[in-house]
Amino acid sequence: MNHQYIDQHDIAGQYLRKELAEPDRDAFQAHLVDCAECADRVLLAEMFQGKPAVDPDVVPVPGFAMRETQLPLRARIVAHLRPWQLALLLLGAVVVLLGAVGAVFWWELQNVRAR
């Protein structure tokens, strides 16, 4: 998608009015990622309209748009963790599991001594 085509067909205006077909919308969103001029045009038009052209719940990804709420909870949690945070979380889970096994073993050992 180039600037001449965008200007001739009022693609930015149709995008703001949500009148674009899905393939054209996806192509224009992909163009917006690379073109600061068009992104500025859309943002400026949004400011004058007073409402965002893009649904804030939609993650803008060229080619398709997926709602974050469609992901399972564990995928949403893991997506926001850095690798070291995920490793620390898994280490904590292992420590808790080993602690529980140790506590059960200690409890059984105390019961054997009491008999």
Question: How many structural domains comprise the chain?
Answer: 2
User: How many whole angstroms separate alpha carbon 88 and alpha carbon 100?
Assistant: 18
Residue 76 lies in a domain: no
Say if 93 falls within a structural domain: yes
Residue span of the structural domain in which 33 resides: 1-71
Residue 87 lies in a domain: yes
Residues of the chain with pLDDT under 70: 1, 48-71, 73-79, 115
Q: Are residues 37 and 62 in the same domain?
A: yes
Judge if 14 and 47 occupy the same domain.
yes
pLDDT in the model for residue 101: 96
Q: Output the pLDDT for position 66.
A: 47
What digits encode the pLDDT tens for the residues 67-100?
Answer: 445 567 666 666 677 888 888 989 999 999 999 9
Domain for residue 85, yes or no?
Answer: yes
Helix axes of 36-49 and 22-34: crossing angle, nearest 10 degrees: 110
What's residue 68's pLDDT? 47
59 SS3 class: strand
Does 62 lie in the same domain as 43? yes
User: How far apart, in whole angstroms, are the C-alpha atoms of residue 60 and residue 37?
Assistant: 18
Say yes or no: 98 and 66 in one domain: no
